[in-house]
């Protein structure tokens, strides 16, 4: 399952407003710039994002989340790979999801629609049209 969920808690990462939920147990929050990277990703390009949910705290380095997006070998889409290493609960998990070009196009369309809301542009636009 791949879905986008609104997220307003700023304690996780400074710019995280949305999460990609790749399983019932694992969540990877994306910043606006990371969403922009995914939106601009070419058919043969890849990207990788690293998050430490405890960055700057005493547990820093004990949880490592990596989201890799790589093109499928035949060019028909991308692989989304979420790897989570959690030393606090002795967890090492990887989730692989192949995404077709059509599914990726829908995902990019959803990101393009929601980005103005993440950035707060809708509030400004509503204030000048009222």
| CATH number for the domain that contains residue 96 | 2.30.31.10
3-state percent breakdown (helix, strand, coil) of the chain, nearest 5: 30, 35, 35
Q: What backbone torsions phi and psi does residue 92 show, to the nearest 5 degrees? A: -135, 105
Give the pLDDT of residue 8: 44
Per residue in 2-23, pLDDT (tens digit) is: 344 444 444 443 333 344 544 4
d(CA 80, CA 65): 13
Does the pTM of the predicted model rise above 0.75? no
Total domain count for the chain? 1
In angstroms, the Cα distances linking 23 to 76, 84, 93, 96, 98 are 23, 12, 11, 10, 14
Domain span at 88: 3-101+110-129
């Amino acid at each position: 399952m791949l879905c986008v969920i609104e997220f307003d808690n700023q304690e996780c990462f400074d710019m995280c407003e949305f999460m990609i939920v790749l399983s019932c147990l694992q969540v990877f929050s994306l910043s606006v710039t990371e969403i922009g990277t995914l939106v601009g990703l070419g058919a043969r390009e890849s990207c990788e994002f690293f998050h430490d949910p405890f960055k700057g705290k005493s547990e820093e380095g004990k949880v490592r989340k990596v989201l890799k997006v790589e093109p499928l070998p035949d060019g028909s889409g991308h692989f989304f790979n979420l790897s989570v290493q959690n030393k606090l609960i002795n967890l090492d998990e990887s989730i692989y999801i192949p995404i077709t070009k059509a599914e990726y196009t829908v995902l990019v369309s959803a990101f393009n629609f929601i980005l103005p809301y993440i950035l707060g542009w809708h509030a400004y636009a509503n204030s000048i049209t009222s």
